[in-house]
């Protein structure tokens, strides 16, 4: 077995111990941009795909500020609340647009004014899903590893090629699940956004009608 497969096996095993910091464990003191990037990179490193691409950059953070996903820094420093939002953004930025993330954040703020509510939800869900998927994938990996070992024992010349193909099937299955989950998430977000827009339009219409009636009433009073 080559070093890349060994790296994969070690990484899958390490995911079982992965957990993000609780809200109370986030930095109490505000951090400068380079400190924020370093902190997030260190905490999110176990979720790296291995491509070498950073999960967060100053350019990304600045874009999130411009898009009003997080508040602008105070005196160039970012608070615990902003760092919590950055963790949440990093968890979904590959599958949701910034406008969709903004909608979800705004919806949460309307219902739950507590600053730690969203992060605690994200922290718990991220942990449960990561560990559940890791357990599932590790179980599948153990099955194909045993098949590979049996093939090697039988001196099958295609043992390793078959093993790699079976690994690819796991990736295919996960990709299909991810795609279906994204489709469902996109539809939910679409309906939520449409509902919010329709509600706003109805309120605006009602306000306009009330203003019109008030204007007509005032006009009638003046004629009398």
Looking at residue 224, its pLDDT comes to 57
Residue 168, pLDDT > 80, answer yes
Q: Six-digit token pair at 152?
A: 């090697």
Distances (CA, A) of 173 to 96, 112, 166, 167, 201: 21, 36, 11, 10, 42
Whether 59 has a pLDDT exceeding 70, the answer reads yes
Other beta carbons within 10 angstroms of residue 13's beta carbon come to: 12
Measured CA to CA, the distance from residue 22 to residue 123 in angstroms comes to 7
Average pLDDT, the chain: 89
Give residue for tokens 């070093």.
3
Q: Which of 110, 53, 57, 118 is CA-nearest to residue 82?
A: 118
Is the distance from CB of 50 to CB of 16 less than 8 angstroms?
no
Residue 197 structure tokens: 């827009």
Dmax of the chain from CA atoms? Answer: 105
Report pLDDT for 87: 93
Pick the more confident residue, 108 or 168. 168
pLDDT score of 9 more than 90: no
Q: What angle do CA 56, 60, 62 make, to 5 degrees?
A: 130
Share of the chain above pLDDT 90, in %: 51
Question: Cα 65 vs. chain centroid, distance in angstroms?
Answer: 17
CB 86 within 8 A of CB 92: no
pLDDT at residue 191 tops 90:
yes
195: tokens are: 């509902």
Question: Does residue 50 have a pLDDT over 80?
Answer: no
């Amino acid at each position: 077995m080559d070093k890349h497969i060994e790296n994969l096996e070690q990484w899958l095993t390490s995911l079982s111990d992965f957990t993000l910091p609780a809200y109370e464990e986030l930095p109490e003191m505000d951090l400068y941009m380079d400190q924020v990037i370093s902190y997030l990179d260190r905490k999110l490193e176990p979720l790296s795909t291995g491509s070498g691409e950073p999960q967060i950059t100053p350019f990304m953070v600045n874009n999130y500020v411009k898009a009003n996903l997080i508040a602008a820094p105070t005196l160039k420093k970012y608070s615990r609340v902003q760092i919590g939002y950055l963790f949440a953004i990093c968890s979904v930025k590959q599958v949701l647009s910034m406008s969709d993330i903004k909608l979800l954040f705004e919806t949460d703020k309307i219902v739950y004014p507590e600053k730690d509510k969203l992060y605690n939800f994200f922290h718990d869900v991220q942990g449960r899903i990561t560990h559940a998927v890791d357990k599932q994938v590790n179980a599948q990996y153990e099955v194909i590893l045993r098949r590979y070992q049996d093939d090697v024992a039988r001196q099958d010349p295609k043992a390793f090629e078959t093993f790699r193909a079976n690994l690819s099937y796991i990736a295919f299955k996960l990709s299909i699940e991810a795609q279906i989950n994204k489709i469902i998430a996109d539809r939910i977000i679409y309906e939520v956004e449409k509902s919010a827009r329709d509600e706003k339009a109805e309120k605006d219409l009602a306000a306009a009608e009330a203003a019109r009636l008030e204007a007509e009433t005032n006009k009638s009073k003046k004629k009398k």
